[in-house]
A and B are shown apart, each in its own frame.
Chain A
């Protein structure tokens, strides 16, 4: 399905709202298997996105994703900055001549894989992005699909990112980047319907 600028704008705005609202929850998840700053980092990114939109309203899909990307790259600070930044930047480039939602999400997922040299089953945000990209190719997205993808990270042993230093001890906890990515796709469902 196609995504229109005004829906995409609502999508990103809902996402950054959720990041702000769930700052403590993301920090808590990151405290268990990382350095406890994912919520603080994403909250900083969220505020930067809002500031950037307030300064200049994006005129098309490509600009919307680009503005989001640069706010994240400049302000998030941790590894999530370049990861989300690359996802949105690649989506921005593609959105110049492609407004197919499932194609764009797959392009975002591929960008994260390239930047993080990661793939599914490594207990990273890819474990949400890739299944959701696949689900979107099949039809409308559901909250259950997002929950399933997120929950799948719980029992995984991390093999990428800071949590991988914990080896087996990383199992039993949700991946924080997957949780923030779940907020992104829950926001999408709120806009386009499940």
Chain B
């Protein structure tokens, strides 16, 4: 599979919820999540992020996050990994939904990124 999606959120429920939502639009896509800290509290965990990327079967990953430390941990992971990761500074729900919908029908990256542009908020 060309693209997979990884969701990084401060909250377990947000991460799982976004996955539930976008899976409807992209039932065949590999979507993995890293929500909350290792203790499932509010926060982010590099270990969970690593796991989400390990479990994802996409050749390249489209990554979405919510707030500050999710982004920082995601970027720290990106400096450590050999995987191709595209990180988008967009509204989490709308961005992930847009990307999932387009990746599901094998849209090229350029198309996906053009559709994400208006959703950049951070």
Contacts and interface: CB of A to CB of B under 8 A. Distances in A.
A58 interface: no
Nearest to A35: B42
A78 interface: yes
Nearest to B76: A82
A115 B75 contact: yes
A79 B37 contact: no
Contacts of B99: none
A85 B76 contact: yes
Contacts of A83: 72
Given A74-B38, A74-B46, A74-B47, A79 B76 contact: no
B73 interface: yes
A78 B76 contact: no
Q: Is the interface of B mostly helix, strand, loop or mixed?
A: helix
Nearest to A80: B69
B68 interface: yes
Contact of A73 (B41, B68, B75, B76): B76
Nearest to B69: A79
B76 A77 contact: no
A81 B75 CA distance: 13
Interface in A87-143: 115-116
B47 A116 contact: no
Interface size class of A (residues with CB under 8 A): 10 to 19
A21 interface: no
Contact of A86 (B38, B45, B47, B76): B76
Contacts of A74: 38, 45-47
Contacts of B44: 77
B43 A78 contact: yes
A10 interface: no
A78 B69 contact: yes
A161 interface: yes
Interface in B17-42: 37-38, 41
A33 to B, nearest CB: 14
Interface of B: 37-38, 41, 43-47, 68-69, 72-73, 75-76
Given A74-B45, A78-B43, A82-B73, 13 more contacts: A74-B38, A74-B47, A77-B41, A77-B43, A77-B45, A77-B69, A81-B46, A82-B46, A82-B69, A82-B76, A85-B76, A115-B76, A116-B72
